[in-house]
Structure 1
């Protein structure tokens, strides 16, 4: 874990949250059409600045203005493929950090092929569930985020396991997409991408638990999550963090 102990990493994550709020990074999101508002609202809640256009005529200009890019392959069509290709190429050319969520690539061979092609552009962060993650070939220089009951953030032989989170996140469409965009916001700090991705997931997992404390079910969980992302403090991370790590 880049030489950090577990307690040092937790302190790093708590401080990273404050740095995101202080720097207000711009995150351009190429999201599926179902989740755009939730992702934009969630980024705004942590004081990042979202942009969402997927127009092929505009996407490169928006990526140039952004500090990081978040890409989701949901609701994929020919125009969105073009926009994603343009956005990822621009991000790689400019050296911007970017996150790939290969949503449902295990359902579609053409989507899996597209995801694998995208992973060769720059140095992305892959955020995927178990089935998606193991379907793709992930090189050692790519930070791989494998989500599930516990989230595992791995680069080469080093891994950080985030145990924070709540089952209600799986009941609200778009929470996974939002967590990918939050990772992009933390990556925009320009720090170690492995630590940044893990810090983002720790903050998101703690916010999910805080939200669940006030939710009665999925319908009230979504606004509670936005409130929690807005209100979460470094102390919440320090007090609630449950993580483990393996240096391989």
Structure 2
């Protein structure tokens, strides 16, 4: 690996070298795209949501993604088993409180998961507003990284805040893009780098791949394969990813 690689590219190179297993509890709409994104960066996805086996999957994984996209009773049971297994095994896990802004009951459940100690929380502006500033500040005080996606991505850690200004408007026209970013954060967290630096690297690299793909795409249909190709090359020497903070 060339010594000149930027920090974000170094993290993606570490992911590719380690090939971490990332178990994803995510919604059915996002599963295939999320799996392909993980494969593109060199990680190994698994997706079982069966409460009877999810703890074993998580215990054998290097990181966990908990995405609330389709919150059925069985999904809630599986999430409880998965979070307990990740905590017991010392695995990093990422919470993506999808649609917490659409349902008070879902927001309450997401706040309980925040209290369970995720390594990182990846969400958008409306979801962040639904959980509340106090909830997210408490999470940061406990060591969680809070990554809020938007036109300018904001990453808040215990002692610092960073802003990443990259990406492309076509990213908002592809379903499951944010869900897949949560999985990339989980993969980067598994490199054993501190959670703040790993999360910033994940957001920077993901956005850089989107910017490059968007510059060549004619629309969302052509964007997706170009985006996967750009993710696949993220650990290459041409990746001098600029950090904005």
CA gap 1:242/1:195 in 2 versus in 1, 3 angstroms = closer
| CA deviations over 1:180-219 (Å, ceiling 9, x no partner) | 1000000001111000000011110111111112211011
| CA deviations over 1:47-67 (Å, ceiling 9, x no partner) | 100000101111000000100
Match of 2:96 in 1: 101
Distance in 2, matches of 1:237 and 1:131, equals: 32
Match of 2:34 in 1: 39
Question: Is 2:18 aligned against 1:23?
Answer: yes
Count of aligned pairs between the two proteins: 234
1:242 CA displacement: 4.4
* TM-score (normalizing by structure 1): 0.90
Distance in 2, matches of 1:165 and 1:183, equals: 16
The answer to whether the 8 A contact 1:104-1:132 is kept is: yes
Question: Is 2:220 aligned against 1:218?
Answer: yes
Question: Is 2:51 aligned against 1:49?
Answer: no
Distance in 1, matches of 2:235 and 2:117, equals: 33
List runs of 5+ in structure 2 lacking aligned partners: none
More displaced, 27-36 or 215-224?
215-224
List runs of 5+ in structure 1 lacking aligned partners: 1-9
The answer to whether the 8 A contact 1:187-1:193 is kept is: yes
Distance in 1, matches of 2:111 and 2:237, equals: 39
| CA deviations over 1:90-140 (Å, ceiling 9, x no partner) | 111211100010001011111111111111223431111111113221212
Match of 1:4 in 2: none
Which of 192, 197, 200 is the aligned partner of 1:198? Answer: 200
What's the secondary structure of 2:216's corresponding residue?
A: coil
Which of 97, 103, 113 is the aligned partner of 2:108? Answer: 113
1:12 CA displacement: 2.2
More displaced, 58-67 or 152-161?
152-161
Distance in 2, matches of 1:236 and 1:174, equals: 27
More displaced, 30-39 or 124-133?
124-133
- Indicate the RMSD between aligned Cα atoms, in angstroms: 1.4
Question: Is 2:48 aligned against 1:77?
Answer: no
1:82 CA displacement: 0.8
Distance in 2, matches of 1:233 and 1:26, equals: 18
